[in-house]
């Protein structure tokens, strides 16, 4: 089907998160395009809840006034509340910022030019090698604030990628892009998501993918399972599965039962993360974006929230109970800096003796040695 492009005037661009996003280290994200001609079979942008116009994969909406809106949103004269520190996330959501229409419209490029002018740190998440085109602007931002370049993969297996990511540059090209940016002095990461159940989650494929990423010198690899929401997303995926992997149909039915977000069963997810963690510990690669990339970028409270949420993830994925997630949430509700209540930390809901000690260390040093060891698999 030929691409159908719809130009619109957007009313808003910046999407503010309720609290710091500890996966991407961002407080704000933006979707310049709605819909994505990369047309990945598993994309959850296809599900009804995202209200993407037309047919996902062939209809792409272009917010042609994105930079003007952004300029207005970030105008210090007009803003009632100051911009909260953190990376601005370019990517994710329901459309890759470097999908093919960007070659013509260059809205992502113009957005980067504006963010460079504002000296704001940027985290780019894409599947496209087109990001190399903007090396000049990214260099400028990296010199004045900071840039993280992340590329997403479901694995680095070419055959599987051709089936599930028909409009995306091949994994080898994406790996070369990561290596290119590493050579240029950028911090880079792999978002290994979604891992496709029973297809890219085998020990062998996970191992090959981590090994390939390690060769590029990535600073982190973040793993995420695949959600399949009932409706268009699940139907589209199952059609493809039926065609290429009909034998797996029953297994999918077993792990994707009725759930609001379309996530697989906890048993499946735990098994996936245990395999992933065991391999990551061999390679000593951080499983979340490491503290040296955010220590000096976010507020003191957000630094603590990020580290506690990372610890929460690491504990849970190791099959342990974690007190950290609840404490992180309570801290996100505070309106005062943690250092101003350094001696009353235990009054915060969810903060016990261990969490208090970790928070004190973060307030003193910007990080926690225990957390860093766990992150790299040294514990």
* Residues of the shown chain interacting with ligand SF4 in the complex, contacts defined by CB under 6 A: 36, 38-40, 43, 45, 95-96, 127
In the bound state with ligand SF4, the residue whose beta carbon lies nearer, of 169 and 377, is 169
In the bound state with ligand SF4, the residue whose beta carbon lies nearer, of 52 and 289, is 52
In the bound state with ligand SF4, the residue whose beta carbon lies nearer, of 37 and 322, is 37
- State the minimum distance, in angstroms, from the CB of residue 38 to ligand SF4: 4
Please give the order of strands across the beta sheet that includes 147-153. 14-21, 26-30, 87-91, 122-126, 147-153, 187-192, 220-223
- State the minimum distance, in angstroms, from the CB of residue 87 to ligand SF4: 18
Q: Give Rg (Cα) of the chain.
A: 21
Looking up tokens 């695949």, which residue turns up?
226
- State the minimum distance, in angstroms, from the CB of residue 298 to ligand SF4: 25
Q: Is the peptide bond before 137 cis (omega within 30 degrees of 0)?
A: no
- State the minimum distance, in angstroms, from the CB of residue 54 to ligand SF4: 14
Q: From CA 195, how far away is CA 202, in angstroms rounded?
A: 10
SS3 content of the chain, % helix, strand, coil (to 5): 50, 15, 40
Surface-to-core class of residue 166, CB atoms within 10 Å of its CB (0-12 exposed, 13-18 middle, 19+ buried): middle
- State the minimum distance, in angstroms, from the CB of residue 196 to ligand SF4: 12
CB-CB contact of 347 with 341 (8 Å): yes
In the bound state with ligand SF4, the residue whose beta carbon lies nearer, of 98 and 181, is 98
β-partners of residue 174 are none
In the bound state with ligand SF4, the residue whose beta carbon lies nearer, of 45 and 197, is 45
User: Does the CA dihedral 215-220-225-226 come out positive or negative?
Assistant: negative
In the bound state with ligand SF4, the residue whose beta carbon lies nearer, of 142 and 150, is 150
Q: From CA 228, how far away is CA 377, in angstroms rounded?
A: 30
CA dihedral 358→308→85→139, nearest 10 degrees, is 100
- State the minimum distance, in angstroms, from the CB of residue 36 to ligand SF4: 3
In the bound state with ligand SF4, the residue whose beta carbon lies nearer, of 41 and 293, is 41
- State the minimum distance, in angstroms, from the CB of residue 153 to ligand SF4: 11
Helix (H, G, I), strand (E, B) or coil at 28: strand
């Amino acid at each position: 089907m030929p691409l159908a492009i719809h130009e619109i005037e957007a009313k808003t661009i910046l999407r503010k998160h309720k609290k710091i996003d500890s996966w991407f280290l961002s407080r704000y994200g933006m979707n310049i395009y709605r819909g994505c001609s990369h047309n990945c079979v598993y994309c959850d942008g296809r599900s009804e809840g995202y209200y993407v116009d037309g047919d996902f994969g062939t209809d792409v909406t272009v917010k042609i006034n994105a930079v003007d809106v952004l300029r207005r949103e970030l105008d210090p004269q007009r803003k009632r509340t100051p911009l909260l520190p953190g990376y601005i996330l370019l990517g994710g959501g329901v459309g890759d910022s470097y999908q093919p229409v960007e070659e013509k419209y260059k809205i992502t490029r113009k957005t980067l030019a504006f963010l460079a002018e504002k000296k704001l740190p940027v985290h780019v998440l894409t599947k496209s090698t087109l990001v190399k085109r903007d090396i000049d602007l990214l260099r400028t931002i990296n010199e004045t604030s900071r840039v993280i370049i992340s590329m997403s993969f479901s694995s680095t297996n070419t055959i599987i990628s051709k089936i599930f990511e028909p409009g995306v540059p091949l994994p080898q090209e994406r790996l070369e892009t990561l290596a290119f940016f590493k050579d240029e002095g950028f911090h880079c990461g792999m978002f290994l998501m979604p891992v496709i159940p029973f297809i890219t989650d085998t020990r062998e494929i996970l191992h090959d993918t981590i090994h390939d990423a390690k060769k590029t010198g990535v600073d982190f690899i973040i793993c995420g399972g695949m959600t399949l929401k009932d409706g268009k997303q699940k139907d589209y995926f199952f059609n493809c599965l039926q065609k290429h992997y009909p034998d797996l149909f029953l297994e999918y039915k077993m792990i994707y039962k009725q759930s609001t977000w379309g996530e697989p069963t906890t048993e499946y997810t735990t098994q996936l993360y245990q395999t992933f963690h065991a391999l990551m510990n061999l390679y000593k690669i951080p499983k979340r974006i490491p503290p040296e990339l955010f220590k000096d970028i976010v507020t003191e409270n957000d630094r603590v929230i990020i580290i506690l949420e990372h610890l929460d993830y690491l504990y849970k994925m190791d099959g342990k109970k974690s007190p950290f997630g609840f404490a992180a949430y309570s801290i996100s509700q505070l309106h005062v800096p943690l250092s101003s209540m350094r001696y009353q930390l235990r009054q915060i809901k969810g903060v016990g003796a261990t969490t208090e000690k970790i928070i004190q260390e973060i307030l003193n040093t910007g990080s926690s040695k225990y957390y860093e060891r766990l992150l790299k698999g040294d514990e």
